Homo-oligomer: A and B are copies of this chain.
Amino acid sequence: MLQEASAVEEREISQAVIGRLPRYFRYLGVLKDEGIERVSSQELSDIMQVTASQIRQDLNHFGGFGQQGYGYNVEHLYEEIGRILGLDKEYNLIIIGAGHLGQALANYMNFERRGFIFKGIFDNNPAICGMKIRNIAVRPMEELETFMRENDIDIAVLTVPRDNAAAIAEQLASCGIKAIWNFAHVDLQLSKEIQVENVHLLDSLMKLSYNLASHSEDRS
């Protein structure tokens, strides 16, 4: 019964709650590594600096993991959230754009550990095609379509200049990409079938700049 209720609720969860799940997953992973078996919402609240009621509300979306007077079983909750996040699956991933950022992401091994398997990297600059990153050669964009078909690619990481991003996203869409992790500084307009997650680094830096500027004013 609980399983069914949880399955129904999963479909109605807001992106705000989903956005908080990786953070729960991260903190629970630390507790698990420290050998801690159970945790109350109040203890989680203290270390995560979120209210206990927010934690209970968020986790209730996924059925009743907590038990009154016991709290949460750390390992169980960690694994359940991992499953909800889809981390029990493997995804094949390619990177489009072998510039500095593309190379940095290709070299970031932690993604692999979470089931995101780096399969290939592409660039339209002939000068860097053939260069190897973690033993995988940079391929020309002409090979994208064949490569995607033969390697069952799920996710494309887009690390290209903003002027090229829309056209390349269209090309990925026509090749049947399921998800795009977009680092180009532009919002992509694609079919809703394709999941897009944006990392706008400059937006984040501007937010820091705002807080820095307004905080300096407060002090002067």
Contact = CB atoms under 8 A, between A and B. Distances in A.
22 contacts: A11-B218, A18-B207, A22-B203, A22-B206, A23-B203, A85-B213, A86-B214, A87-B209, A99-B104, A100-B103, A103-B104, A110-B185, A111-B202, A114-B205, A114-B206, A178-B212, A179-B212, A181-B204, A195-B211, A195-B212, A197-B204, A199-B199
A164 to B, nearest CB: 15
Interface range on chain A (Cβ under 8 Å from partner) = 35 or more
Contact of A202 (B18, B110, B214): B110
A19 B22 CA distance: 20
Contacts of A89: 209, 213
A25 interface: yes
Contact of A84 (B103, B208, B210): B210
Q: Main SS of the interface on chain A? A: helix
Contact of A22 (B10, B114, B207): B207
A189 to B, nearest CB: 8
